[in-house]
Chains A and B, each alone.
Chain A
Amino acid sequence: MFIENVLFLLFSILSIVFSFFVILCKNPVHSILSLIFVFFNTAALLIFLGAEFLAMLFVIVYVGAVAVLFLFVIMMLNIKESNLILSLYNYIPVFTLLITIFVYEVYTVYSSNLMPLYMFTANSLKDHDILVIDFIIINFLDCVINYATNIYVIGNILYTEFFLMFFISGIILLVAMIGSITLTLHKRNDVKRQFVFKQIERNFNNTIIWRS
Chain B
Amino acid sequence: MLYIILFILLKSLALIIPLLISVAYLTLLERKVMAAMHQRKGPNVVGFFGLLQPFADGLKLLIKETIFPDSANTLIFILAPILTFLISLVVWAVIPFDKDYVFADINLGVLYVLAISSLGVYGIITSGWSSNSKWSFLGALRSAAQMISYEVSIGVIILCVLLCSNSLNLSDIVYAQRKIWFIVPLFPLFLMFFISGLAETNRAPFDLPEAEAELVSGYSTEYSAMGFALFFLGEYANMILMSSMITIYFFGGWLCPINTYIFKIVPGFFWFGFKTTLILFVFVWVRAAFPRYRYDQLMRLGWKVFLPFSLGWLLFISGILVGFDFLI
Contacts and interface: CB of A to CB of B under 8 A. Distances in A.
Interface string B144-156: 1000100100000
A63 B119 CA distance: 7
A22 to B, nearest CB: 16
B111 A60 contact: yes
B129 A56 contact: no
B76 A75 contact: no
Contacts of A53: 108, 111
A150 B106 CA distance: 12
A146 B58 CA distance: 47
A200 to B, nearest CB: 13
A56 B148 contact: no
B111 A56 contact: yes
Interface in A64-86: 64-65, 68, 71-72, 75
Interface residues of A, number: 22
A57 B144 CA distance: 20
Interface string A24-62: 000101000100100000000000000011001101100
Contacts, number: 58
B25 to A, nearest CB: 31
A68 B121 contact: yes
A180 to B, nearest CB: 16
A64 B129 contact: no
A150 B114 contact: no
B141 interface: yes
B108 A56 contact: yes
A151 interface: yes
Given A52-B107, A56-B108, A75-B129, A63 B118 contact: yes
A65 B108 contact: no
B164 interface: no
Interface string B132-160: 00000100010010001001000000000
A52 B129 contact: no
Interface string B101-141: 00000111001101110110110011001000000010001
Contacts of B300: 196
B141 A72 contact: yes
A116 to B, nearest CB: 24
Interface string B25-38: 00000000000000
A64 B111 contact: no
Interface string B72-86: 010010000000000
B246 interface: no
Interface in A157-201: 194, 196
Contacts of A29: 73, 76, 129
B80 to A, nearest CB: 11
B124 to A, nearest CB: 10
A60 B118 contact: yes
B108 A64 contact: no
Given A63-B119, A75-B129, A151-B168, A68 B111 contact: no
B112 A56 contact: yes
Nearest to B116: A59
Residue in A60, A150, A196 with the greatest tally of chain B CB atoms within 10 Å: A60
Nearest to A149: B107
B144 A72 contact: yes
Interface string B222-248: 000000000000000000000000000
Contacts of B151: 64
Given A52-B107, A53-B108, A56-B108, A68 B125 contact: yes
A60 B115 contact: yes
Contacts of A151: 108, 168
A150 B107 contact: yes
Contacts of B137: 75
6 contacts: A52-B106, A59-B118, A59-B119, A60-B115, A63-B119, A150-B107
Given A63-B115, A196-B300, 15 more contacts: A33-B76, A52-B108, A53-B108, A56-B108, A56-B112, A56-B114, A59-B116, A59-B118, A60-B111, A64-B114, A65-B118, A68-B125, A68-B144, A71-B126, A75-B125
Shortest beta-carbon contacts, A-B, top 8: A64-B118, A56-B111, A59-B115, A60-B115, A56-B115, A75-B129, A52-B108, A56-B108
